[in-house]
Amino acid sequence: MNEPLPERSQSRPLRIAMIAGESSGDHLGAGLMEAMRADADRPVSYAGVGGPEMERAGLTSAFPLSEIAVMGPFAILARLPGLIRRVHEAVDHVVAFEPDILIIVDSPEFTHPVAKRVRRRLPGLPIVDYVSPTVWAWRPWRARKMRGYVDRVLAVFPFEPAVHARLGGPDCVYVGHPAIERLKLMPPRTAQAGDRPTLLVLPGSRITEIERLMPVFRDSLQALRDKGRDFDAILPAVPHLADRLSQEVSDWPVRPRVVAGEREKWKAFSAGRVALAASGTVTLELALAGVPMVVTYRLDPLTAALRWMVRTHSVVMANLVIGENAFPEFIHGGCDPQTLSAAIDPLFDDGPERHAQLAAIDTVRDATLIDGDSPSQRAAAAVLDILEKNGRGALTPRP
């Protein structure tokens, strides 16, 4: 921890700088902003980089989030000059804001270079990292290096504090996964006797992954139908991609119904019998919603070549939480219609494959769900603690 800076006047608004790198971080950051504002004993102002949700919560963004939202080393290399320029713009924006604290949110390829440069220019500024990089999966040496520019990590998986302690990383506290908060959007499950079961189709939220997976998903649905499986299909989409996806599935032999937005997604989850999903946060959401799943992903060439560096038994979040590969995953290899349809088919029936996944779902829920405050509120409390330790106390703890 850095030496505390002199305490600032309590009449001055609390200034919080936040840096997100993609839409999931935008959602997470907005929840934290609202929780901190609810606990503040004086006005709070925000600046940094964020998307529509963080802007609605009061952030003044240095530039549109869409200009930096990329994933995977191949995509990053292709846009490297522009990303480097945006890193420097974000740093200048934060420094000019004269914040009391900097919070970086996920997307370490962008947010960590910003944090390192801010630390050099404002060495006494406390820095919090909301969502740990996957140091438990690959490049574990990053944990120790983070100690030079991160004072606390807010973990969204319960196993991460122990990982950082083992690897010599920064102070790390588990605050809960944001998917827990979104569960309230799901209506109660109701019996649907006589109706056709619903297959959820979840190809991801990034253009690159959608382009790679949609042809495979189309043919997987057709392969299931060819096996004699009768079902309805729903494709939940982020709003800005709904029209594009609706057009793309319009000529599919088995055409899914496209729905847009968080509420419609969780409504679909409440009806889902089984899901075919791209690897990502959605696998944890599906487990919390009680939906068995098959998970897949098709990598870009460079990422596929680097797979040997991954040091974990799984890349599926739901599997990582419970420490076993309960939910089948086909990452690159096996990402084909025959393999995927064969794995999905038995999950429609009340047989051993489905019962095993339902038992694993109960384990995921037991490990992930938290009592009391929401993850956003717990994250706000962790930020409060850092502010107080640096002589910048400006939030009121929850009773």
DSSP character string of 159-218:
THHHHHHHHT-SEEEE---THHHHGGGSPPP---TTSPPEEEEE--SSHHHHHHHHHHHH
Give me the percent of the chain exceeding a pLDDT of 90.
61
For residues 166-176, average pLDDT = 96
Q: Residue 398 — pLDDT band, cuts 50, 70, 90?
A: very low
Q: Per mean pLDDT, which of 5-14, 86-95, 132-141 is the most reliable? A: 86-95
- HSE on the CB side for 91, CA within 13 Å? 18
pLDDT at position 194 is 56
Q: Write down the residue that tokens 């100690």 correspond to.
A: 147
From the list 125, 184, 135, the residue with the least C-alpha distance to 155 is: 135
| Amino acid identity for residue 39 in this structure | D
pLDDT > 70? residue 303? no
Residue 32 near residue 380, CB atoms below 8 Å: yes
pLDDT at position 300 is 55
Domain ranges of the chain: 14-176+371-389, 184-368
In 62-159, which ranges are continuous DSSP H helix?
A: 73-78, 80-97, 108-121, 142-146
pLDDT > 50? residue 4? no
CA dihedral for 118, 144, 310, 176, sign (positive or negative): negative
* CA pair distance 115, 136, nearest whole angstrom: 21
pLDDT tens per residue, range 8-52: 445 578 899 999 988 888 989 999 999 988 876 678 999 999 999
For residues 338-356, average pLDDT = 97
Q: Residue 130: enclosing H or E segment and its boundaries?
A: strand 127-130
From the number of C-beta atoms within 10 Å of its C-beta (0-12, 13-18, 19+), residue 314 rates as: buried
* CA pair distance 187, 280, nearest whole angstrom: 23
pLDDT at position 38 is 83
Q: Do domains 14-176+371-389 and 184-368 have the same CATH topology?
A: yes
pLDDT at position 3 is 46
Residue 4 near residue 33, CB atoms below 8 Å: no
Q: Per mean pLDDT, which of 106-110, 339-343, 368-372 is the most reliable? A: 339-343
Averaged pLDDT of the chain: 87
Query: Which tops the pLDDT comparison, 222 or 392?
Result: 222
Domain 14-176+371-389, what fold? Rossmann fold (3.40.50)
For residues 164-189, average pLDDT = 91
CA dihedral for 40, 45, 47, 52, sign (positive or negative): positive
CATH class, 184-368 region: alpha beta
pLDDT at position 306 is 46
Q: Write down the residue that tokens 């047989």 correspond to.
A: 351
Q: Residue 310 — pLDDT band, cuts 50, 70, 90?
A: low
Q: Which token pair is 282?
A: 């959605």
Q: How many CB atoms are closer than 10 A to CB 186? A: 19
Residue 196 near residue 224, CB atoms below 8 Å: no
Query: Which tops the pLDDT comparison, 309 or 290?
Result: 290
**What three-state secondary structure class fits 103?**
strand
pLDDT tens per residue, range 211-251: 989 999 999 999 999 999 999 999 999 888 899 999 999 99
* Angle between helix 281-289 and helix 352-368 axes, rounded to 10 deg: 100
